[in-house]
A = this chain, B = another copy of it.
């Protein structure tokens, strides 16, 4: 049996590069996307296209509606997404406990699929200050995975959590993605995108758009994104 991995695939650029890395490393791929009621649901369509591109064995799209919890501008449409880069501390786009939940779901799927690796595209360099994107969080989740599942405790097969982008700059992620042939045109980063004639149009002003545009600029790679506003 070939080695297999669950890859968390949001449809953003980081998860796309993660998917390409796992593919390069010879894993049979099980992509997992979560529909958590995010306003940027076009991400999920991007995830489907990326999964097709990578030739995954399976792609599970799991509904986990976090809107009843509230507390984030990504899931609560009454809260505005911050634009223009002016806020202090962790912004309101933070979704409470999001990566704990995403890794928990990946852990569950890995156990069902018999996969011993989970890939997550978190990044602690050019990011929005989310606590669950830091190396300390990933290391502690690894400890949890070692004691949480039947596969780990009864069969001696704990899952290994891979976060291969965690210490890369966004520009380095772009360059790595280019070297792996990642179709960046198909990835969606914007927190508040629109659609125009079947194309995704990024707002160009949210944190995620600003970080993405800067990354392509610094990497000296043409940015294929359609932005409503270029800053």
A226: Cβ under 8 A from any B Cβ: no
Q: With A68-B62, A90-B154, A154-B89 in contact, is A149–B97 under 8 Å at CB?
A: yes
CA separation between A66 and B62, bound complex, in Å? 8
A64: Cβ under 8 A from any B Cβ: yes
A221: Cβ under 8 A from any B Cβ: no
Segment from A7-15, A47-55, A130-138, A164-172 that makes contact with B: A130-138
**Which DSSP category, helix, strand, loop or mixed, fits chain A's interface?**
helix
A69: Cβ under 8 A from any B Cβ: yes
CA separation between A57 and B97, bound complex, in Å? 22
Report B-chain residues with C-beta under 8 Å of the C-beta of A149.
96-97, 131-132
A217: Cβ under 8 A from any B Cβ: no
Nearest to A67 among chain B residues (CB) is B62
A69 to chain B, nearest CB (A): 5
Nearest to A139 among chain B residues (CB) is B147
CA separation between A97 and B151, bound complex, in Å? 10
Report B-chain residues with C-beta under 8 Å of the C-beta of A86.
none
A104: Cβ under 8 A from any B Cβ: yes
Report B-chain residues with C-beta under 8 Å of the C-beta of A134.
147
A111: Cβ under 8 A from any B Cβ: yes
Are B108 and A97 interface neighbours, CB within 8 A? yes
Nearest to A76 among chain B residues (CB) is B112
Are A140 and B143 interface neighbours, CB within 8 A? yes
CA separation between A65 and B34, bound complex, in Å? 11
User: 22 pairs across A/B with beta carbons < 8 Å?
Assistant: A60-B68, A60-B69, A62-B68, A63-B63, A69-B105, A69-B108, A69-B112, A71-B111, A96-B109, A96-B111, A96-B112, A97-B107, A97-B149, A98-B108, A100-B100, A100-B107, A100-B148, A131-B149, A132-B149, A136-B147, A137-B147, A140-B144
| A residues at B contact (CB < 8 Å) | 60-66, 68-71, 89-90, 94-101, 104-105, 107-109, 111-112, 130-132, 134, 136-137, 140-141, 143-144, 146-150, 152-154
